Amino acid sequence: MEMARTMMRHKDVDQDLWADAIKTAVYIKDRVTSRAPPVGKTPHELWTGNKPDVSHMRVFRSTCWVVLHKSHVDGKFGDKATKCIFVGYPDGSKAYKVMLDDGKVVKARSVVFSENISSKAADVPEDSPVDEVVEGETGLDAGSDDQDVDAEEDQDVDAEDDGEDNQQDDCSDKSADDNQGSAGSQDTLRWSSRSRRPPVEYWRPVSLVAHEAPTTYGQAVQGQESTKWRAAMDREMDSIRKNKTWRLTDRPVGRRVHKGKWIYKVKDALDKVGNNTTRNKARLCFMGNRQIKGLDFNETFAPVAKFTTIRCILAMTAANGWELHQIDVKTAFLNGDLEEEVYMEQPEGYVDPTYPGKVCRLLQALYGLKQAPKMSYAKLDAFFKSQGCDNIDPDACLYLMMDDGEIIIVLVYVDDLLLVGSSMEAIDKIKKALRKRFEMKDLGEAKVILGLEIMRDKTLGILKLS
């Protein structure tokens, strides 16, 4: 608050700009050191781990000129710049927030600053020297506060401004020393007896926040929960090996070899008792962003169950008192047979020590492959039809089977299967058939579907989603 008040008094800023002054003061304080420990560290550095760059900072409400793009210049002899007032730093952008003469606020990057002269237009002569010149052209749209102006970032403040700032700092330090001397020994005792600790949100590293998933393999194996993440990756590799997803081969000549990437996620779940819990999940994904259509893949579309279909089936289940269970197909995308010839580097952390120079020739689909959803659905579709299930139009992921008077309904949504049966015997029958063909995780009675919690009262015939 004091910093904002000082900035406003220094440049005789109107009271209407108090919000911009406070926001600019907070922006500056996050990027300068303080007396609170650890000394020599800024809040921005403690939070992000990166030392902030302050070379772009400018004096609040200083005069500046925004260089216009040629499309905004009125004729050959039109002005190539427009005079503005600097009022802060916009969020999520390296530009500056400036105010035009008509009071509109825009964002601009190609800016010429003059911080050592008055900000009033009447006091600035036309040949007034400027502190710096930023090269690059920019466009300026005064009709929108969110319009970014594309150009180069302005350069550092020159030595003259640094001298002025240092002079102000010296004056401030001198004034502070005088005040401290007149206060007597009470202030000294008060400061020496206080135990200063930084706020938790400033010094706590982001990677150590509870349930924060790592973004790289290095973070996963070096973090506090490295044991859990290694176990999750081991489970993923066991499923891949069991499914014979690839075989090692020599590096092909004239063929693109793609890379893989570990993706980590902390998933919220409900245990069998109904308590909230979390589990660490690791997935080896194929980086399919460089796949070439016609060479590495052809069709990619795969249907999923419509939400209206799911609601209708849940309503029928509640009305008829049917059983409702849920199954998760482990490594669902690894079940599709790959038709194209695709190669991938050995996954990080699991390179075969005997053949480190070989690559993986994919035989089955892998997460990240553009054709993986289509192939996975095709394999599930073929399985259900082999079991005597009929596909119900118009939903391609709805299957119905009638067996000895028993009704079995299956809904497929990627790797989640919703099983509906007129009796537990019917549910157990379809589960047994699925276990023989796929690696499954039986979740028991359905409690969560597509992020919605299922609350059911069989005695009253009520089923709710929340």
In this prediction, residue 42 carries a pLDDT of: 81
User: CA 21, CA 35: separation in Å to the nearest integer?
Assistant: 23
| Mean local confidence (pLDDT), 301-308 | 86
Domain definitions of the chain by residue range: 2-159, 217-465
Q: Which amino acid is at 146?
A: D
What are the tens digits of pLDDT across the range 330-342? 766 667 778 788 8
Residues 6+ apart with CB under 8 A from 60: 7, 8, 10, 11, 13, 21, 24, 86, 87, 88
Q: How far is CA 143 from CA 140, 147, 314, in A?
A: 9, 8, 51
- 266 pLDDT band, cuts 50/70/90, is confident
What are the tens digits of pLDDT across the range 271-284? 656 666 788 889 99
Note if the pTM is more than 0.75: no
Q: Measured between alpha carbons, how far apart are the two ends of the chain, in Å?
A: 44
In this prediction, residue 339 carries a pLDDT of: 78
Of 285, 288, 269, the closest CA to residue 277 belongs to 269
Q: CB–CB of 369/342 below 8 Å? A: yes
